[in-house]
Structure formats: structure tokens, C-alpha cells
Amino acid sequence: MISHRQANAQRIAALDERAEALHLKRGMGIADARAMHPSIDVVEADPEADRRLLESLADWCDRYTPLVAIDAADGLFLDVTGCTHLFGGERAMLDDILSRFFHQGFDVRAGLAATPGAAWAATRFASDRIVPGGEEEALLAPLPLAALRIEPDIRASLESVGLRTAGAVMAAPRAPLARRFGTSLLLRLDQALGRLDEAVSPRLPVAPLSVERHLAEPIMLTDELERLVKMLATTLKMDLERRGEGARRLALLLFRVDGAVSRIAVGTSRPLREPLLIQKLFHERLAALEQDIDAGYGFDLVRLSVLSAAAFDMQQADLAGETHDDGADIALFADRIRARLGESAVLKPVAVESHLPERAVATLPYAEAPQRVSPPKKPDKIQDTSSTPVFRPERPIRLFRSPEPIEVPATEMPEGPPMNFRWRRALYRVARAEGPERIAPEWWRETSGPEDAPTRDYFRIEDSDGRRYWLYRQGLYGASQVPPRWFMHGVFA
């Protein structure tokens, strides 16, 4: 038996057939049960473990339909509309579900109907029954009120006035029922009878495109999985071409014979539909997860799904039938590295609109960074020869993530460059200097007023050994009582 705490008392939450044969029931106190049968074995309930088990069963049921929802703490809803013919019909599908669960060691009950409410009632009160469309009322009529999925207090109120079955409620006038017991009673009744639609919300998003292969002989080797991935990707390519799209994120679902399911996802930097390239991505991912994927007795169902897609830009081929895309090889390389080492393994610098150098560049994962789809336009020629071209300021080869403070003992003039400075406990003598390049603060980002934000004066410095640095003075002399501070922000060479 399984026990749980309810109203400061330990009560029976679940029990097996042997315990039921001893006339024990759910909700009975553990003390009363032990008084009747002192030798019973009681195990404390673990709701979190039960939840994980139910979610794993929901993953396994994805082999029948992608629309799988969790019902309370002990049930699953499967929307099999349009799927039953793939398994030989409704009865063949129901028998297959029950048989597979039985061989996995589970005692399950199942029912099939045209509405979720009728299917729920058939499962819990008339197990293994298939209810044809239009016969929901005949199913519910002899069943107790619990078959309507109503609240316990409403059920107790109905029983107090002599309405003890669903058929008695259906035969009663609707207006008095609504006034006395609320509209939720009629809502559940209409949902079960199909008068109102009831949606089943799947626990996982449904992939727009999927292809799968049922295997007569389970496979276990990684090489076999990769070959099967290429075959599935070839089938998937035709669907993507028909839609004019390419895959941006794909998932490989491996259904093991004993019920375990493995989900392996890869992302792409560009829309992709070539089977060989998809196989290479999953080759890297499978190699990275080789120690984590347990094939057990093998996989009997393999599914390849497109989780997200984007428009696929066709490219003009040359006379030899080849296309030339300079960024395709780099994108494939980055995708394979990410598939092997993770999403953050390859980062790309992206320019950001900011005056401050440390904010002017951000590193994003390669797939999230904007991709250049066409070569940059050449700058227009200057028509007016008298105008002076504007050159972009020079920036160091290495820019520090955070500026490092330095000590400046003296300067030639208050607004000029330093004569020498101390950085990381070493003294450097300045041989040449260029600047300053003044960078005003971004007043719209500062919490205080713009007059309180310090101004930066940047200098390009060369020391006596020929090394070049980029440092700046924060603040101006005489602008405030706090003296300016100096920082090292990068090195040129």
C-alpha cells in the first residue's frame, strides 16, 4: 500500500489487488488498516517521483500521437484523432497500448471515446471500452457521479437530494440544476456528451514536420542510428522543399523497447535541409552524448522532427551545378562544434550602438547572432573632392573586458598624456603619445544627471620598449573635488 498525509492523518493513497482483497479501500486510515491486518506493508508516497514517472510515460505515449496531456496525478489524455488507422484501427491501437504497458510492468486502464469526458469515464469506470460517437449518454447513464469529473462537494450535494448517477442528473431539468449546483455541473455534462468542445492541451509543442520509422528489429549501434537519420532526413527534405523552408532546430526521438525515450536536439545557424549535413550534426551530438544514451535492448521507433523552420533562400548554381556560399562552410563548422560542445561553445561578436568601447561589442551564440546574407555594399565614391573624408578612430587589437586602474604620478600638462604610469606593479615610461580622443558619457543610460557622469579622454601610448597601449583619463581636472582617475583599456601590440 501507498500512504500519504491528509488532514493530519496517514491514509491509504493507493493499494494493489492483494490489499483490495483484504477489503481495504482508498482514504482509509493507516491505523485502522493496521488494526485489521497488522502484517500489511506500507510505503510512504513520493509525489515528485510519481510525477517524473508519469512524465516519462507521457514521453513514451508520444509514439502514438504528439498530443499527449497529463491528467491529474495518475492519468494521461491522448488525442488520437487521425492516428488510429496507422495502428490498424481503434481496437488494435488500444490493445497495443495495453499490451506494451503490461510487458513494461504497469497495470493500466484505458478507454477510447469521441470526447475527453467520455473517454475519462470509460477508462475509470468501464475499462478497455471503445465508445462509438453518439453513444456517450448510454455510457454515462449507469455510472456514478464521479464519472462526470465534478467537485466532491457538488457530488455530495447531488447525492443528498437523491441524484446518485449521471443518468439521474441528465434526466433532471437543467435550470434548477444550474441555480442550485452551479454552471460547472452542466459544463462537465455537456463536455462529456459532446455538446461543448473540450481541448486537450499537449504538454509539449507539436512539431510542424515529423518523419519516423518503425523497426522490426531494434537497433543499438550509433552507426545504425546515423544511417537512419540520413534516411529520415531525405524524406524530410521533400516536405521542406514543398513548404519552401529549411530546418533551424531538429529533434531526434529514440523510443526504446522497454519504454524509455531519449530526445536529442540540434540547432542550425542557417535554414538547413540537406540530409548529409543533418547527419553530420547528429553525428557530433551522438558522439557527445555517447555515455549518456543507454540503448538497453534497442530502439524500435526513431523519429526525426523539425521543431522550428525558416524560409530557405535558394541560390543560383553555376554551369557545373554548384553553388558558392562563402559563409556556408563556416556556419556548418560552427553548428558541428555547438552540437558537440554546447550552444555557448562558439560565440560571435556583434556591434552594438554605444559610445563606450566596452559596450560597443556584444558576444552572442553563433546561431542567435545576425547572419550576413549578402556582401557589404561598397562605400559610394566622394563626388566633392574638396570635402575631407572621415576616418574611423583606431581601436586596440585586444580590448579588456573591464578597464584596469593604473597609477599616473605626473603629466606634462593637466589635460595632456602621462609621462609614465604603473600598471600591474610595473613602471612604464612613455616615449610617444597621441590624443586625446574624448568620449562623452551616454547620459540616457546614467541614473544620475549628465553633469555627474565622468568624461573619458583616451590616449594612444607607446613606451620606451615600443609597446603600445590604449588608456584613458576618467574625469576632468577642476570639474569636481574628486581628482581624475586613469585606466588601461587595451593594448595594440
CB of 251 closer than 8 Å to CB of 265: yes
Q: Where are the alpha helices (DSSP H) in 244-392?
A: 275-288, 328-341
pLDDT band at 186 (very low <50, low <70, confident <90, very high): very high
Residue 92: CB partners within 8 Å, gap ≥ 6? none
Indicate whether 317 pLDDT > 60: no
- DSSP-based three-state secondary structure for 270: strand
415 backbone dihedrals φ, ψ, rounded to 5°: -100, 10
The pLDDT assigned to 207 comes to: 92
Is this prediction's pTM over 0.85? no
**Residue 133 cell numbers, joined:** 460517437
The pLDDT assigned to 319 comes to: 56
- Residue the block writes with cell 615600443: 466
**Residue 478 cell numbers, joined:** 577642476
pLDDT band at 214 (very low <50, low <70, confident <90, very high): very high
pLDDT over 90 percentage in the chain: 52
Indicate whether 237 pLDDT > 50: yes
Rounded CA-CA distance 253/305 in Å is 8
pLDDT over 70 percentage in the chain: 90
Eight-class DSSP state of 372:
P
pLDDT tens-digit map of 366-401: 877 776 655 555 555 545 545 556 566 788 888 888
Q: How many CB atoms lie within 10 A of CB 188?
A: 21
Which residue type, as a one-letter code, is found at position 376? P
The separation between CA 127 and the C-alpha centre of its own chain, rounded to angstroms, equals 35
SS3 percent helix, strand, coil of the chain, rounded to 5, is: 30, 30, 40
**Residue 466 cell numbers, joined:** 615600443
Compute the average pLDDT of residues 458-469.
93
Rounded CA-CA distance 250/306 in Å is 5
What angle (nearest 5°) sits at the alpha carbon of residue 311, between those of residues 307 and 315? 130
Rounded CA-CA distance 179/195 in Å is 20
- DSSP-based three-state secondary structure for 295: coil
The pLDDT assigned to 446 comes to: 60
The separation between CA 452 and the C-alpha centre of its own chain, rounded to angstroms, equals 44
pLDDT band at 316 (very low <50, low <70, confident <90, very high): low
The pLDDT assigned to 358 comes to: 82
pLDDT tens-digit map of 275-313: 999 999 999 999 998 888 888 889 999 999 999 999 987
Rounded CA-CA distance 22/456 in Å is 85
Residue 208: CB partners within 8 Å, gap ≥ 6? 306, 309
Indicate whether 129 pLDDT > 50: yes
Structure-model confidence comparison of residues 32 and 230, the more confident one: 230
Rounded CA-CA distance 242/227 in Å is 24
Eight-class DSSP state of 437:
E
Q: How many CB atoms lie within 10 A of CB 299?
A: 24
> Distances in Å between the alpha carbon of 400 and those of 18, 471, 475?
71, 11, 20
426-439 vs 420-423, strand pairing mode: antiparallel
Eight-class DSSP state of 412:
S
Eight-class DSSP state of 395:
-
- DSSP-based three-state secondary structure for 237: helix
pLDDT tens-digit map of 243-278: 999 999 999 999 999 889 999 999 998 899 999 999
CB of 420 closer than 8 Å to CB of 427: yes
Compute the average pLDDT of residues 72-76.
89
Q: How many CB atoms lie within 10 A of CB 319?
A: 5
pLDDT band at 450 (very low <50, low <70, confident <90, very high): very low
> Distances in Å between the alpha carbon of 89 and those of 95, 96, 102, 125, 429?
10, 11, 20, 23, 87
**Residue 380 cell numbers, joined:** 559610394
CA torsion through residues 43, 45, 48, 53, sign: positive
The pLDDT assigned to 410 comes to: 62
Closest among 222, 140, 235, 258 to 188, alpha carbons compared: 140
